[in-house]
Amino acid sequence: MEKPESYIITGGEEGKKRLNVLSEVLYSYTKTLLLQQGLAKGMSFLDVGCGGGNVSVMAAGMVGDAGRVTAIDFDEEIIALNKEEVAAAGISTIAYETLSAYDLSSRDEYDITYARFLLSHLTDPLRVLKNMAASLKPGGRVIVEDIHFDGHFCYPACTAFNEYVALFTATASQREQNANIGPELLRLFGEAGLQDVGFDVIQPTFNTGSGKWMGYITMDKIKEAVIAQGLADATTIDNILKELETFTNDDTTIMSLPRIFRFWGTKK
């Protein structure tokens, strides 16, 4: 099981706040992808590494009362928060469970298994991808969205932005994770035995709004891991955050999210 301390982004309630912002930014992109890949009323959907639970809620609305959604994550605090939210919203078709993706043992059960920004945080992503494939009914589909972090860009050049990208990828690498996994998913899908594999690439880019703030927010949420790995001290990180804040507040500058690879494949 992946240890929570290996995850480079702060989890729990603070992590959920970040994930809520990110999910708001990506809502229309992910919903369109799920529709294109056939998610429909009455289906069963497994959200692996569900984080803040936002995609789980989206999927529950898409599969309706006749369908069902199971959502797993290793973060016990974030799962508890998700349960509280769906209970307050009166949503009864989502089953949240504290479980590592490595320990996923369901077989031939779901129409679609899905993960967003999970495999890049794992030391053995192929093992999890195989678990996701095994969880599918024959003819079911795996859908994965994940990052090519070095594919970020901003305009004009910003030293703090470049330092943020370098620190994120280096911290992940030191913990044996791959922040640039996106292009490698083609090989991994094949090794997981999936067929009819397809993909596309998106890169939302902003000059204002929540999407543009994701760089600053993420840098703030990885600072503890960066310091723990000895890659920068607190003063250096504070200076990066100050420069990023100034850059982000300027609506004449442009900042992208990481390049996002979106893969799908079928279990025969």
**The two structure tokens encoding residue 181:** 């996994």
Contact between residue 254 and residue 204 where contact means Cβ atoms under 8 Å apart: no
4-266 sits in which CATH class? alpha beta
Residue 4: cis peptide before it, omega within 30 degrees of 0 = no
Contact between residue 179 and residue 120 where contact means Cβ atoms under 8 Å apart: yes
CA distances from 213 to 41, 79, 163, 194 (A): 35, 25, 16, 36
Burial of 91 (0-12, 13-18, 19+ CB in 10 A): middle
Q: What is the pTM of this model?
A: 0.96
Q: Residue 15: its pLDDT value, please? A: 87
Return the bridge partners of 48, or none.
Answer: 72
Give the residue among 257, 173, 247 at the shortest CA–CA distance from 218: 257
Q: What are phi and psi of 21, to 5 degrees?
A: -65, -50
Which segments of 117-218 are extended strands (E)?
A: 136-148, 154-155, 195-202, 205-206
C-alpha 8/C-alpha 229 separation (Å) is 10
Q: Residue 7: its pLDDT value, please? A: 87
C-alpha 26/C-alpha 28 separation (Å) is 6
Reading across the β-sheet that carries 44-48, which strands appear in turn? 94-98, 68-73, 44-48, 110-116, 136-148, 259-266, 195-202
User: CB-based contacts of 88: which residues, under 8 Å, 6+ apart?
Assistant: none
pLDDT (tens, 9 = 90+) of the chain, 268 residues, equals: 345 558 899 888 888 899 999 999 999 999 999 999 999 999 999 999 999 999 999 999 999 999 999 999 999 999 999 999 999 999 999 999 999 999 999 999 999 999 999 999 999 999 999 999 999 999 999 999 999 999 999 999 999 999 999 999 999 999 999 999 999 999 999 999 999 999 999 999 999 999 999 999 999 999 999 999 999 999 999 999 999 999 999 999 999 999 999 999 999 9
Q: Residue 1: its pLDDT value, please? A: 39
Q: Which one-letter DSSP state was computed for residue 47?
A: E
Identity of residue 124: D
C-alpha 52/C-alpha 22 separation (Å) is 10
Return the bridge partners of 47, or none.
Answer: 71, 114
Domain boundaries, the chain: 4-266
